[in-house]
Amino acid sequence: MPRLLPFDLKKRESQKKRNTRTIVVFFALLFAILFLSAYVIVRWSGVWLVQHDEFEHIPWVLVLDGQTAEMERTDYAAALLSEGKADSALVLGRRVYKSQNNADFYIEEMLNQGKVDASRIFAVYHDDPSTIEEAKTVIPILKERAIDSVLLLTRGPATKRVLNIFEKLSGKGIVFLVQDAPDLAFNENTWVHTREGRKIWLKEWFAYIVSKLEILGTKIVEPLPTKIYPIYNAASASKLKSIETLPTLDAIMDEAADSILKDSSIQYDSIIDSLKLNPAPDIF
């Protein structure tokens, strides 16, 4: 074995260091490329969830339940009606109390804006827990009334999923468009940077995949000839209950106080009458 000179040892040592640096730089660049690619893909996946179809005019706007306390969907629907871009609105609402429905709150807010005629707003009351069940409830209503064009209003990251569900369950008879009402909790461009945005992204992707599996092989929904599918017009006070017709807390308290005073007065009068009829005997 030839003996290595000090110069050769230094050269070999230097070569090892260069090789090590090359490997480290290579893996660092590879990690950076993979990280950036993953970031772009994940961030784009939030944009992909949101679909916003453009249109000039549509006969019906369907407002799905589940909006926030800001009521951004009904505000958006009211704006479309007042601008003449939509003719009528169909508002879906779940029951929240024994005799109160979300649709009542939504429609009252739309009417309070003073821009929309009540005769153009309709409500569908239901207790469906999911979008698929909502679609099964409302599609027969649309078909029974020969409604052929509908704009679906829901939250941004749910638009793609909602459109897929309604198109799959309705068949080819109805043209569905979808738009996202302004959403303060989710922005498709910046959702990665907020905790709430990341939660919504994860939830909606899971819901999208599950809904795809759920509606596989599902039959097209048709109205049953023996079933009635009612919708209620906001102009009909006998059908739609307004929360303004419900007693306020002050009114309840006043009524209770009047009742107590009235009962007390009756009891007092009865005691006086009893004493007059049956005077106490003289002790002395």
Residue 199 CA to residue 204 CA, distance in Å, equals: 9
Q: What percent of the chain clears pLDDT 70, i.e. is strictly above it? A: 78
Residue 245's pLDDT band (cuts 50, 70, 90): very low
In a domain, 110, yes or no: yes
Q: What is the CATH number of the domain that holds 92?
A: 3.40.50.620
**Which band of pLDDT confidence, cut at 50, 70 and 90, is reported for residue 94?**
confident
In a domain? residue 270:
no
Listed in sequence order, the DSSP H helices in 83-194 are 102-112, 131-144, 159-170
* Residue 21 covered by a domain: no
Q: Is residue 28 part of a domain?
A: no
- pLDDT surpassing 60 at residue 241: no
Query: What distance lies between CA 249 and its chain's CA centroid?
Result: 29
Residue 14 belongs to a domain? no
**Residue 274 belongs to a domain:** no
Task: Please state the domain count of the chain.
Answer: 1
Q: Kindly state the average pLDDT of the residues 37-54.
A: 83
Query: What is the distance between the alpha carbons of residues 157 and 59, in angstroms, rounded to a whole number?
Result: 24
Does residue 105 belong to any structural domain of this protein? yes
Residue 214 falls inside a structural domain: yes
Domain that holds residue 135: 58-233
* More confident of the two residues 202 and 21: 202
pLDDT digits (tens, 9 = 90+) for 119-168: 899 999 888 888 999 999 999 999 988 898 999 999 989 999 999 999 99
Residue that wins the pLDDT comparison between 8 and 252: 8
> pLDDT tens for residues 97-121?
777 888 888 998 888 887 888 889 9
Q: Which pLDDT tens digit goes with each residue over 252-266?
A: 455 655 665 555 555
